[in-house]
Amino acid sequence: MEKGCFITIEGGEGAGKSTCIEGLADWLRAHGIEVELTREPGGTPVAEQIRRLLLAPGEIPPESELLLIFAARDAHLHDRIKPALAAGRWVLCDRFTDATYAYQGGGRGIEEARIARLEDWVQGSLRPDRTLLFDIDVQQGMDRAGQRERPADRFESEREDFYQRVRQTYLRRAEAEPHRFRLIDASQPPDAVLTQAQDALEDLFD
């Protein structure tokens, strides 16, 4: 059995990832690929409980936040991602460890080497095969996110400078690993964004 592809979708607030990911899963299924659609933090019952803790209003020390994220990731990898990949299914995951480098590293200022140690410990050699980075101007993304009807969560309540650091960290990572990352211009309308995302996965079919 050939291992499935592990695809992650990344980006700041209001980049339209969640809207696009469903369309992307449908498109892959239409190509006869079995897809497991999931998200981080979350994706299993215990990881979804950790997600609720992380997004609820209130203070969490940055290192505690980092460890909670990796605890959720460990459960997700163990119970869902690794079994799916081993069974030959493709995993389409809304955020993964690049988000940790961007938010906890860039945003909160935690040293990158610390995150890398946890990444190696929890993931071993597992890394995404392809990462789509939905990039959008920070102010434009925040304006879009501000139109949501529910109240802002703990991350969405951060200020613009936090999101500038998140964006710069993502862009730096994409530049450092061009074979894994594809940059998606998320300022475009949803249909055009979906087309870009599809184009960015086509070479994985061979």
For residue 134, state whether it binds ligand TMP (rule: CB under 6 A): no
For the sheet containing 181-185, what is the strand order?
35-39, 90-94, 6-11, 130-135, 181-185
CA distance 187 to 193: 8
Site mask for ligand TMP (CB under 6 A), range 143-162, x = bound: ------------x-------
Rule CB under 6 A: say whether 99 interacts with ligand TMP: yes
Q: Which stretch binds ligand TMP (CB under 6 A): 83-91, 100-108, 124-132, 188-196?
A: 100-108
Q: Can residue 103 be called a binding residue for ligand TMP (CB under 6 A)? A: yes
Choose the stretch contacting ligand TMP; rule: CB under 6 A; options: 56-64, 94-102, 131-139, 182-190: 94-102
Burial 140-168 (b: 16+ CB within 10 A, else e): ebbebbeeeeeeebebbebeeebbebbbe
Alpha helices in the chain (DSSP H): 17-30, 45-55, 62-76, 82-86, 97-99, 112-123, 138-146, 160-176, 190-199
Q: Binding pattern to ligand TMP, positions 3-42, x when CB under 6 A?
A: -------------------------------------xx-
Is 100 a residue that touches ligand TMP (CB under 6 A)?
yes
Q: Applying CB under 6 A, which residues contact ligand TMP?
A: 40-41, 69, 94-95, 99-100, 103-104, 155
